[in-house]
């Protein structure tokens, strides 16, 4: 149990376009999901916390107009990178609160975004 599916796994887009990344909890309901960003050889940095049915809480320094988060249902959260630039290229990972399983957090498999 406690599987989180993240799509796409890899995406290349042109500068100025928007990209949507989906994070789904497959066999449990996730009232809270988290979005992280990971630069090469660095650790995961929390970008925002999304709660079903309410606005996301963004970490300091994260532009909420650039990284739009929607958590419209108990099993789906989306991250949209708007007007992407090459510096947005990174590895984005979502996780969901999964109760007592797996330490309480289950991670998606990540999305490698490359902006050209």
* Interface residues toward other proteins, by CB under 8 A: 6, 32, 34, 41-46, 49, 93, 95, 97, 102-110
Cβ distance to other proteins smaller for residue 77 or 97 = 97
Edge-to-edge strand order for the sheet containing 67-73? 4-7, 19-25, 76-81, 67-73
Specify whether the backbone of 70 is left (phi greater than 0), alpha (psi in -120 to 50) or beta: beta
Minimum CB–partner distance for residue 82 and other proteins (Å): 24
Cβ distance to other proteins smaller for residue 83 or 109 = 109
Cβ distance to other proteins smaller for residue 19 or 33 = 33
Minimum CB–partner distance for residue 74 and other proteins (Å): 16
Residue 35's alpha-carbon distances to 5, 81, 86, 92, 116, in angstroms, are 13, 12, 19, 7, 23
Minimum CB–partner distance for residue 4 and other proteins (Å): 8
Cβ distance to other proteins smaller for residue 20 or 112 = 112
Minimum CB–partner distance for residue 60 and other proteins (Å): 10
Q: What single string gives the DSSP state of each residue in 46-79?
A: EEEEEETTS--EEPTT--TTTEEEEEEETTEEEE
């Amino acid at each position: 149990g406690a599987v989180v599916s993240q799509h796409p796994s890899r995406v290349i887009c042109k500068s100025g376009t928007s990209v949507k990344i989906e994070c789904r909890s497959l066999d449990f309901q996730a009232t809270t999901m988290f979005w992280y960003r990971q630069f090469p050889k660095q650790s995961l940095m929390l970008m925002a916390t999304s709660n079903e049915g309410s606005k996301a809480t963004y970490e300091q320094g994260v532009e909420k107009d650039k990284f739009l988060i929607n958590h419209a249902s108990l099993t789906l959260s989306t991250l949209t990178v708007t007007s992407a630039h090459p510096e947005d290229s990174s590895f984005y990972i979502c996780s969901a609160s999964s109760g007592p399983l797996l330490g309480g957090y289950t991670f998606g498999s990540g999305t490698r975004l490359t902006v050209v």
